[in-house]
Amino acid sequence: MELLSPTVSSYLDALVPPRDPVLADMEAAAAKTNFPIIGPASGHLCYLLARLMGARRIFELGSGFGYSTAWFARAVRENGGGIVHHVVWDQKLSQRAREHLGNLGMEHTVTFHVGEAVAALGNTEGPFDIIFNDIDKEGYPAALPVIFSKLRPGGLMITDNLLWSGRIFDETDESPATEGVRQLTKLVASDPRWISSIIPIRDGILVAMRSS
């Protein structure tokens, strides 16, 4: 189910300023192979939030072939330098991301990990200014305490797919992934340590600030 009309989605993507040709090629490759990326409007939102935060230390849980990483790395570089941690399970996918980010001249802004994302976060020294969360949805609730522990007070957790293509509204859908999205949403919304809002672009992006 497309919750946002194609007309609105196309309009929002068209408002994103011109991008590096490498990013445009990544978008084309994702569209051709149906590879999931956050897309231009969401990528630009992540870049904007990172710039507003003055973020210099960012950790991505689930980084794909480096598309979201590129938006964060650009922000970090423009904020004066720092590091973005890119994590995927697959060595070939990690290598693909290395090539993309190398072509963007951002390889020195990114640290690459191959392994389970939440474990990698737990084993990496914090705190972080931003943690981007886009792992398997059934893992969302269990990841939350680790994310909280590694995020600095005032830092942001950005989580993708909180509207989950409308599946969260289907009361008959009790799949682990859908329940994971529902549970994370409730946990964050009910916890006074988070100040949060879901931004309904693409598939819904949760922006949550650790308040203490």
The predicted-structure confidence for 16-46, as pLDDT tens digits, reads as follows 999 899 999 899 988 888 888 889 999 999 9
The predicted-structure confidence for 152-181, as pLDDT tens digits, reads as follows 999 999 999 999 989 999 999 999 999 999
Question: For the chain, what are the domain ranges?
Answer: 6-210
Angle between helices 67-78 and 91-103 (to 10 degrees): 40
Q: Which 8-state DSSP code applies to residue 195?
A: E
Q: Which CATH superfamily is domain 6-210 in?
A: Vaccinia Virus protein VP39 (3.40.50.150)
**pLDDT reading at 212 higher than 90:** no
The predicted-structure confidence for 102-157, as pLDDT tens digits, reads as follows 999 998 999 999 999 999 999 999 899 999 999 999 999 999 999 999 999 999 99
The predicted-structure confidence for 83-111, as pLDDT tens digits, reads as follows 999 999 989 989 999 999 999 999 899 99
Q: What is the 3-state secondary structure (H, E, C) of 27-56?
A: HHHHHHHCCCCCHHHHHHHHHHHHHHHCCC
Q: What is the pLDDT of residue 63?
A: 80
**pLDDT reading at 1 higher than 70:** no
Give the 3-state secondary structure of residue 209. Answer: strand
- Asked if residue 151 lies in contact with residue 157, where contact means CB atoms within 8 angstroms, the answer is yes
Q: What is the pLDDT of residue 3?
A: 76
Say what the pTM is: 0.94
Percentage of the chain modeled with pLDDT above 90: 80
Q: What is the pLDDT of residue 60?
A: 96
At 145, phi and psi to the nearest 5?
Answer: -60, -35
Confidence of residue 188 (pLDDT cuts 50, 70, 90): very high
- Asked if residue 49 lies in contact with residue 154, where contact means CB atoms within 8 angstroms, the answer is no
